Every structure is written in structure tokens, then in C-alpha cells.
Chains A and B, each alone.
Chain A
Amino acid sequence: MLPVVVVHGGAGHIPKERAQNSTSGVSAAARAGYIVLKGGGSSMDAVVEAVTQLENNPSFNAGCGSVLNVKGEVEMDAFVMDGKTLATGAVSAVRDIANPTQLARLVMDKTSHACLTAEGAKQFARSMGIPEVPMESLITEYSRMRWRKNIAPDANPVECQMGKMGTVGAVAVDSEGVVACATSTGGMLNKMEGRVGDTPCIGCGGYADNNSGAVSTTGHGEAIMKVVLARLILFYMEQGQSAEAASDSALAYMKSRVDGLGGVVTVDPRGNWAARFSSRQMAWAAAQKDTLHYGLYTGEHFTQSIDEPH
């Protein structure tokens, strides 16, 4: 059952014309994470690698391809967590770097803090020798088009953005049974400057604990925060529910209590995993026992050999 990596590319309504890119993107990221694991790499190495690929892929709302805030600028959030030690690193509202997840990992590994925000995060990146990239390099035509559309006075950004572009993330268990998670996002379309969503908030955007499992979430950030979604799923698993049942229970609770939709990838320390969502779609892929699993619409579960081209 081990090792295993599960990846998501955002929950919501993915337009048909973008569906293919989403599916191939998460599949490639899952493959990349799996190669790390098979090579003896840690679950942390694997999730960071998988999410880095999604950040570099302009089809996803993370790193390059991030949605724009109300001012037309890119502010990114990211989170990593190690299930063995509960060590964690996060950045919020960071600008002008290509890979916020790697920066979050550096916060975890190189500082005694758990989260750095905004200018402080950028200063730290500089001190770590991380190159500054022009904001323009992170902005795609698609994200600019969506921003422009939502600036219109009659636009409803919350409704419009619900998942057309979603947060990315991954969970993994390595051969030693250590779980880890990583989540990264450009946040919400046309958000206020400085808006921080669930992604960099521990327990919300993700959580990892060798005693129960690891989760990475996506969906309506404010709703995920209200129910501390990742931690909620793991509470259910601690009480004996499976990864799949716990994910479904928590997503159902989020819908009934705070009217929010989303999706999760969840794994337990033995390698049982689930990719579940209450939104219309979620691009996801998993790699385990040399098999690639993937899906997009509710109920889909395709498999192929990991070595077959997608």
C-alpha cells in the first residue's frame, strides 16, 4: 500500500475547455511525487515536488496562473506539514516568487516560526537566496480575463469564482509510514488586498499527523476555515472512520452548517486514500503500486499503469 501520493488541482466548476489541462496536470504532478517516493524520498519531498509542478503549471491557481486580487496583483499562500513531528511552515500574501510551497518549507526548516506573511515572507525569501520574479511572469491571460470580468459592477466574484480556478495540493505517505501534506494557492478571484484564506491556516488548508493521516483541502476558503476542515476530517478518522467516510462526513457538515462546497485529498498512515468533493468537479490523481488513478467529475475513477503516457 505504501508509498502513495494523492494530488488535487482545485475543486469547483472547471470549464470543459480547461478540463484536459487540469487532468493531465494533476496526473503529471502525481507521477512526479511518486518518482520521489519510489526513489526513497520522504513524503514531504514528494508533496513539495508535486505541488511545485502544479505551481509551475499555468493552468492552476497557484504560483504561475494564480488568480488576481482586486487590484490585479498576485498574492499567494502556501502550507506544508510533516506528520511525524507536526512541524509546519506557511506563507501568506507573498508576492513575486515562483514557488510559495518551497518557501513555506523553508519557514519550517530554517526558522523557529510556523508562518510568515507578506513583506516579511518576501524578506525571508531574499535571505534564502530565492530569486524574485516579476509579477507579470505569474499572470496568465486567463487570470487577467477572469479579473476583468469580475471587476464589472454586476459581477458576483464569490459565485463566479467558486472553483473555476482552485487551490492545489497533495498528501503522501512514504515507505517509512510518515505522512505529509502541502497546499498552495493564489487565493480567491478579486479578493481584497491581503485577504488570507484557508490554505496557510493549519487545520484548514491542510493537516498531517502520523497518528491519523494527512489532508489537503480546496474550495470556498472562508467556509473551510469556519469548520477547520482538514482537522475535522482527521478527528473523524481518529474516531474510526475511513479516509473516504471521514472526508464525505466533513464535506457534508461544511455544506449544511455553513453552506460551503469544496474538495479534499486524504490519506491514512497505512496508505488508504480518498479524493472527495462536494463541488461539481475536482481534478485529482493518485499514484500507488505503480498505478495512476485519476478523475474529474463525480464518480469518475480511471486507472492506468503509471508508466503509460497520459
Chain B
Amino acid sequence: MSLCNRNLKMSAVVVVHGGAWAIPDDLAKASVDGVKAAACEGHSVLKRGGSALDAVEAAVRALEDNTVFNAGHGGTLNTEGEVELDAIIMDGRTLGNGAVSSAKNIAHPVTLARAVMEKTSHCMLTSRGANQFAESIGMATVPTETMVTEYERKEWEKHKNYVTGVMEDFNAQWAHDTVGAVAVDCSGNVACATSTGGIRNKMVGRVGDSPIIGSGGYADNLSGAVSCTGHGESILKVTLARLIISHIEQGKSVADSSQLSLQYMGNRVHGAGGAIVVSPSGQWAATFTTERMAWAAVDHDVLWFGLDPNQRSKEQLSN
């Protein structure tokens, strides 16, 4: 245990994001508060010797519970007014991963994704199959009314008349508040998790980047863990998470790897987004090409957080 504590001081880190997009001022404080709280949740897990996998799950669960974010509770509605949820979790030690797409009315899709990884021989379940599996392990479904916020219902009504499931050009004004977390624990294991309700008024059954390994997230003890957010279709086209990892594998820093990859995404497919990354040695970065990204990290008992480009605020956490 004492060996673990010593290592904890060296490298256990958790980073979370609450979405990369033009977060409006009236959501700014709640978004930053939300990611700070989630980062602290993840940090508590790491501090008591928990695994990176446990930490990212705990952090993302906190974000899924928070209706200001588009994941779990507070998820956006598809064109038929239903909530369809996607999530992924990955263990950098074994490359084990679990994902769900289009799961309906589940409070914690990240936990369901973890169950896919740990309780089945598969990596991904979709739709009705995902929900049947949830039922088989005793995971309750939540009524739609409880999952959907008044704000979201109003936005859906507004956009339903304007455009249905189509985004003509990538518009950073559209909400992309997917949530995610990455962590490295005191054993040097890395993990990632990403969770989302997708884009507002998406077509029924639309699957974005979040649950797709290599796009919404990737974790490998040999290089690091990544969670992405932003324009899903663009992230998919460049397999953003795996692209960032490939730069790290070639010796670049986590910050440069993220920057280069996001720039490439902007140049090649005109998409903007953000990524959080952690390396097995505890280097971390939170990078975005959208107007804002709510993010927070705990590293050596310091809570870092930001919203606007180049913002890095900090608070000392009490031991």
C-alpha cells in the first residue's frame, strides 16, 4: 500500500471533459462546476488506490447524472423525440473495451459499456440488444420524462421545425457536449471513457464517434488514453483518438499530439473538436479547436480547469 501511495504522488492523474462546442455564457458556470466535481470524483477513486478504469467510470457517471451535459440524464433527443445513448470504456492494460450504441433510457451508459466488456465476450452491443443485456444484469431503465430536461425538450421543438437530422455544414453553435474522462492510476494503468446522447435531432439510430473504438476514445498502457468530443462524423473520419495515440507512439508530447491531430481534422475534413489525453507517466493535456471546452484535471492534488482557449485555472485540493 505504501508503494502505491508513493506512486500516487508521482503519476495518478484524472482528466475530464464536458464537451467541445460554443458553450453559451448561461451554461458556462454549471459546465465548469460539473467537470470540476467529476474530476474530484475520479481523483477520490485514484487516491484510495482505485484503478484508472474505476476512476474514469466514476467521473463519467457523475457527468451522466448532471443534466447540464448531453449524456445519460440531459441527453439530447433524436428526430422522434427519443433518447438514444452511446458510450465506450477501455482498459489500457488489456486493450479490453466495452461499448453501447443507441441504448435507450439508461441512466449510466458508461456502466453498461463496462458490463459489456466484463460480462460478455463482445465489445459492443446496440439498440434493443443493448437494452436486453441491461435488463439481464438488473440495470433499470429510466422513464424518458425523467431523462429529458425542459431545456432540451424546448430546443428539440425549436429545431424540429428548422432542420431534421441534417447539419449542412459543421456549425460550432450546435451542442457537442459529449462527456469523457481519462486516467492513469498508481500502477501506471491508463483508461478512458466517453458517453453521449449524440447530436440534437439526429436521425433515429445515428451512431457518432463516441462508442467507436479509436474514434471516441482509446487507451493503451504503452502510450496513453484519449477521450474525444466535437463533431462526431469528423472525429470518425480521422479516427481521432487513435490518431493522437499514433503521434505519441512516435515520441511527440501529449499536447503536440492532440494539437496536430485536431489541426489535421480541421484541415482534412473541416471538423472541430477537443480531446483529453493522459500518458502512462502522468503527462496530460486538454486541447480543443472549438470556441470552448469545459474540462478539469486533478494532478498532484491540484485541481486544474478551463473553458476558454488558453485558460488554465487552478485550485489546491486539501489532502
Q: How large is the interface on A (under 10, 10 to 19, 20 to 34, 35 or more residues)?
A: 35 or more
How far apart sit A192 and B166, CA to CA, in the bound complex (Å)?
A: 32
Instruction: Check A195 against B165 for contact (C-beta < 8 Å).
Output: no
How far apart sit A123 and B94, CA to CA, in the bound complex (Å)?
A: 37
How far apart sit A92 and B128, CA to CA, in the bound complex (Å)?
A: 12
Question: Which residues of chain A have C-beta atoms less than 8 A from B238's C-beta?
Answer: 86
B127, B128, B166, B208, most chain A CB atoms within 10 A: B127
Instruction: Check B213 against A117 for contact (C-beta < 8 Å).
Output: no
Question: Which residues of chain B have C-beta atoms less than 8 A from A196's C-beta?
Answer: 99, 101, 122-126
Q: Contacts A86-B237, A112-B166 given: A194-B215 contact, CB under 8 Å?
A: no
Contact with B along A172-215 (1 / 0, CB 8 A): 00000000000000001001111111000111100100000000
CB of B206 to closest CB in A, whole Å: 5
Q: Contacts A194-B128, A203-B242 given: A118-B205 contact, CB under 8 Å?
A: yes
How far apart sit A67 and B266, CA to CA, in the bound complex (Å)?
A: 40
Instruction: Check B167 against A112 for contact (C-beta < 8 Å).
Output: yes
Instruction: Check B122 against A120 for contact (C-beta < 8 Å).
Output: no
Closest residue on chain A to residue B246 by CB atoms: A235
Q: Does B37 have its Cβ within 8 Å of any Cβ on chain A?
A: no
Partner of A114, one of B95, B122, B236, B268: B236
Instruction: Check B206 against A194 for contact (C-beta < 8 Å).
Output: no
Closest residue on chain A to residue B238 by CB atoms: A86
How far apart sit A93 and B128, CA to CA, in the bound complex (Å)?
A: 10
Question: Which residues of chain A have C-beta atoms less than 8 A from B132's C-beta?
Answer: 193-194
Instruction: Check B207 against A115 for contact (C-beta < 8 Å).
Output: yes
Q: Contacts A113-B203, A120-B203, A121-B205 given: A228-B126 contact, CB under 8 Å?
A: no
How far apart sit A115 and B126, CA to CA, in the bound complex (Å)?
A: 12
Q: Does A30 have its Cβ within 8 Å of any Cβ on chain B?
A: no
Q: Kindly specify which of A219-227, A271-279, A302-310 makes contact with the partner chain.
A: A219-227
Q: Does B129 have its Cβ within 8 Å of any Cβ on chain A?
A: yes
How far apart sit A298 and B264, CA to CA, in the bound complex (Å)?
A: 39
CB of A291 to closest CB in B, whole Å: 34
Q: Does B49 have its Cβ within 8 Å of any Cβ on chain A?
A: no
Question: Which residues of chain B have C-beta atoms less than 8 A from A151's C-beta?
Answer: none
Closest residue on chain A to residue B243 by CB atoms: A231
Q: Does A241 have its Cβ within 8 Å of any Cβ on chain B?
A: no
Closest residue on chain A to residue B129 by CB atoms: A194
Q: Contacts A86-B238, A202-B212, A258-B95 given: A195-B129 contact, CB under 8 Å?
A: yes
How far apart sit A303 and B132, CA to CA, in the bound complex (Å)?
A: 49
Q: Does A289 have its Cβ within 8 Å of any Cβ on chain B?
A: no
Question: Which residues of chain A have C-beta atoms less than 8 A from B233's C-beta?
Answer: 112-114
Partner of A231, one of B99, B127, B242: B242
Question: Which residues of chain A have C-beta atoms less than 8 A from B99's C-beta?
Answer: 196
Q: Does A20 have its Cβ within 8 Å of any Cβ on chain B?
A: no
Instruction: Check A228 against B239 for contact (C-beta < 8 Å).
Output: yes
Question: Which residues of chain A have C-beta atoms less than 8 A from B129's C-beta?
Answer: 93, 192-195
Question: Which residues of chain B have C-beta atoms less than 8 A from A228's C-beta?
Answer: 213-214, 218, 239, 242
Instruction: Check A88 against B125 for contact (C-beta < 8 Å).
Output: no
Instruction: Check A194 against B97 for contact (C-beta < 8 Å).
Output: no
Q: Does B179 have its Cβ within 8 Å of any Cβ on chain A?
A: no
Q: Does B204 have its Cβ within 8 Å of any Cβ on chain A?
A: yes
Q: Does B317 have its Cβ within 8 Å of any Cβ on chain A?
A: no
Q: Does A301 have its Cβ within 8 Å of any Cβ on chain B?
A: no
Q: Does A116 have its Cβ within 8 Å of any Cβ on chain B?
A: yes
Question: Which residues of chain B have C-beta atoms less than 8 A from A116's C-beta?
Answer: 203-207
29 A-B pairs with CB atoms under 8 Å apart are A93-B126, A93-B127, A93-B129, A111-B166, A111-B203, A112-B167, A115-B206, A117-B102, A117-B205, A117-B207, A118-B127, A120-B102, A120-B206, A188-B122, A192-B120, A193-B128, A194-B133, A195-B125, A196-B124, A201-B124, A202-B212, A202-B237, A222-B123, A225-B123, A225-B213, A226-B95, A226-B97, A228-B242, A258-B95
Other A-B pairs beyond A93-B129, A113-B202, A115-B208, 18, CB < 8 Å: A86-B237, A93-B127, A111-B203, A113-B165, A114-B237, A118-B102, A121-B205, A191-B122, A192-B120, A193-B132, A194-B129, A195-B124, A196-B122, A203-B214, A203-B215, A225-B124, A228-B214, A228-B242
